[in-house]
Chains A and B, each alone.
Chain A
Amino acid sequence: MSERAPFRICLVGLPATGKTTYIAALWAYLTSGLPDGRYRVTAFPDDPSYLNEIATAWAAGRDMPRNSLGTTDRIEFTIETPDRAEITVVLPDLAGEVFLNAIIRPWIAEDVAEAVTSSDLLLLFVNGEKAKTYAALGDHEVPQGEGGGLPSIARPAAVTTQDTSATDAVTVQIGLGLAPFSDFVVEDLDSDTLNTELLQRLLYLTQDNGPPPIAIVVSAWDVPDGNGDTPRFGYASNSQLSAFK
C-alpha cells in the first residue's frame, strides 16, 4: 500500500447518469493486463466481487445493476501511475437517488455528505443522451390570422391557474388528444435544472473548506445527434451548468 493519503474521488449525479458504468469501465480497463508504464492496479480491494460484477456487465454490454438507495459502499484500491507513483483511490459508489432526494427533501444523509466534503475530486455525471433543458411554449412561432391587424396569437385573456379547474383542464386536454395538465413537481424538472441545483447544493455542502475541483462528466454524449459535437461544445452553448465555470 502507498503511504500517501488516499485520493478520494466522489462520483455524484442523478439516477442513471453513468456513475456505476464509469467505475465498471475504469475497473475493466485497469485490470485488463496493461503493460508496464500504464495505469495498473497494485493493491486490490478486500472484496472485488462487486467491481468484477459490474465490469463483466459492462464488457458484455449489459445494463448496470442499480444501486440500492443509501448504498455507500467504499471501493478502495491502489493504482500505479505511469511515473511509478502509487495512488490509493477511494470511490464510494453512491446511488443517484441519494442526490435526487437531496434536491427534493431537501436534506442529505451525513455519511453521503461526508463522502462529498472529504473528496479530493468531485465528478458530476450528466447523461448526455437524456439531457433536457427547459422547453418554453412561448418559443412557438404563431402566424398572424388572415384578417390582418393584430397577430392571432394563442394568448388567453387573463388566464391564470386559478381560473381553470382541474376537471376542465383534463377534459379539454383529453379532448385534444393530449396528456392532462401536470402540476409542478421538483423531481420532474428538466435534467439541466436538476443538475444545476444539485451542483449548487454540493457547493453549499463544501462551502466551509471550499469546494474540491469539480469536473462535469457527460456520459453517452455521442448518442443524441451523432454529429460529432463534443460535450464541451454542446454543454457550453446550452446548459445552465456553464454558469459555474
Chain B
Amino acid sequence: MTDVTVAPTSRGGICSKDSCPANLGGECKQGHDDLLDCEFYELTEADDEPAPSPPAIRRIDLPSGEALQANELERVLAGHSASVVVLLGRVGAGKTTLISLAYHLLGSRRLPDWSFAGSKTIVGLARRSHYASFASNRTVPTTARTERWASGLYLHLGMRRQSDDVRAELLLVDVSGEDVVDFSNGKAEPVVQKALRRANHIIIVVDGAEIADVNTRSLAVFQSRTLLKMLEKQELSDPAQVCVVITKSDLLVGNEMNEVFDAISRGTLAEGSPGFVTADRESVSSDGSDPKVMRGDGVNALVGHIAVGQLAETAIDPVTALPPQPSPLLRRLWTAP
C-alpha cells in the first residue's frame, strides 16, 4: 500500500519587486533562503494561514496486466505450473501475431477443443493485438514489431480443455526478431538464451509470405535450418520440444507447405516431429477451386499440442492426458557427442 498526498505546494506570497524570480517560484533576488525574511516579500491574505492539506489517498496497487518479466512469474502465477513456449523466427515471421491470434480465438471461443481460462497479461495481449483490430482504424491488419526492450517478456494464457475442463497454463515468450537474427548468426544473445533455458516448447516460426514467394523461399528454408542447428548448441531444458510453424497459410497454395516442412526438418528434426500451418486471416478463391482458408486455421492443433504436453509433464490429469510426446530433437541433442 502506498500513501499519496495530492497537495500542490505554494510559496504563499508575493514580492513587491516585479522582477524577482520568487514570484515565479525561483530564488529570492535578495538572497534570502527563507522568503519571509525578505523585506519585499509578504504573504497574501489568502495564504496567511497555511492551506489545509487534502487528505492522503491511501491506495492499493494492482497488477498492470502487461507482459511479465521473468522475476514476476512466480508471484503472478502463485505456484501454478505453466509451460514456457519460446517462439523463434525472423522479423515479420508472425511470432507476435500468432500469440495474439491464439488469445483472441480462445477468448471468442472459436477453438473447438479449448476455451479461454483467463490471463494475467490481458493488457499486454490486447496491446499487441491492437493494430489488427477495427479499433485501430486501420484497413489492413498488422502487428507492431516487438522492440528489443520488450524482447523476452512473458505473456500468459490460461486454457481449459472443452472435453473435460482440465486447465493448462502457457507462458508465451515474445522475442524480438532482431534478437533471433543475432542468435542465428552465432552472436551471444542473452535474451534468447535465457528464454531457451526455461523453454518447455520451442516453436520455429517460418514466414509463409517468404515461402510463397519463389524468390525468397530457399533463403527462408535455409534460415530456419540455421536456427534449428543453433539450438543444438544451447543448453535446453528437459523436456523441451521443438516444432515448426509456417504462418500466413492463406498465401500458400497446393502442397508447398509439406515440401517446405520436409526441407526444413530434414536432418534437423527427427522423423515424426510435429509441424503446423496457421492462418491469421481468411481467404477464398474467386472460382471456388481453392479451399477456403479460415482465420485461425492450425491454431487449435498447435495450442492443443503444447497444452497436452504440459498436462502430461505436470500430471494434472494423468487419466485423460495423452501420453507424453517424445522429444526427438532433444534426445538427439543430448546423445550427440
B274 within 8 A of A: no
Q: List, in ascending order, chain B residues with CB within 8 A of A140's CB.
A: 281-282
Contact yes or no, A204 B63, CB < 8 A:
yes
State A152–B21 Cα separation when bound (angstroms).
66
A137-B139, A160-B145 known; A184-B130 Cβ under 8 A: yes
B44 within 8 A of A: no
B325 within 8 A of A: no
Contact yes or no, B290 A151, CB < 8 A:
yes
A146-B286, A154-B139 known; A110-B160 Cβ under 8 A: no
Contact yes or no, A184 B62, CB < 8 A:
no
Q: List, in ascending order, chain A residues with CB within 8 A of B115's CB.
A: 242-243
State A111–B57 Cα separation when bound (angstroms).
9
**Size category, A interface:** 35 or more
A182 within 8 A of B: yes
Q: Return the chain B residue nearest A197 by Cβ.
A: B122
Q: List, in ascending order, chain B residues with CB within 8 A of A189's CB.
A: 126, 135
Contact yes or no, A244 B118, CB < 8 A:
yes
State A188–B116 Cα separation when bound (angstroms).
22
Interface flags, B129-145, vs A, CB<8A=1, else 0: 11111111111111111
Contact yes or no, B253 A150, CB < 8 A:
yes
Minimum CB–CB distance from B223 to chain A (whole Å) comes to 15
Contact yes or no, B118 A197, CB < 8 A:
no
A81 within 8 A of B: no
Contact yes or no, B282 A134, CB < 8 A:
no
**Which one of A106, A144, A186 contacts B284 once the chains associate, using CB atoms below 8 Å?**
A144
B58 within 8 A of A: yes
Q: List, in ascending order, chain A residues with CB within 8 A of B129's CB.
A: 134, 136
Q: List, in ascending order, chain B residues with CB within 8 A of A244's CB.
A: 118
A107-B59, A134-B129, A162-B145 known; A237-B104 Cβ under 8 A: no
A158 within 8 A of B: yes
Q: Which of A46-54, A123-131, A172-180 contacts B (4 or more CB under 8 A)?
A: A172-180
Q: List, in ascending order, chain A residues with CB within 8 A of B253's CB.
A: 149-150
Most chain A CB within a 10 A radius of its CB, from B2, B122, B160: B122
B311 within 8 A of A: no
B107 within 8 A of A: yes
State A2–B108 Cα separation when bound (angstroms).
46
Minimum CB–CB distance from B115 to chain A (whole Å) comes to 7
Minimum CB–CB distance from A16 to chain B (whole Å) comes to 19
Q: List, in ascending order, chain B residues with CB within 8 A of A182's CB.
A: 135-137
Question: Using a CB–CB distance below 8 Å, which chain B residues touch chain A?
Answer: 1-2, 57-65, 78, 91-92, 104, 107-109, 115-118, 120, 122-123, 126-127, 129-145, 158, 160, 209, 212, 248, 250-251, 253, 280-287, 290, 293, 295
6 contacts between A and B (CB under 8 A): A107-B2, A110-B57, A111-B58, A140-B282, A159-B140, A162-B144
Besides the known contacts A141-B283, A151-B285, 19 further A-B residue pairs in the complex with CB atoms under 8 A apart: A103-B123, A136-B132, A137-B133, A137-B140, A140-B281, A140-B282, A142-B282, A144-B285, A149-B253, A150-B212, A150-B251, A154-B139, A155-B281, A182-B137, A183-B136, A240-B108, A242-B109, A242-B115, A243-B118
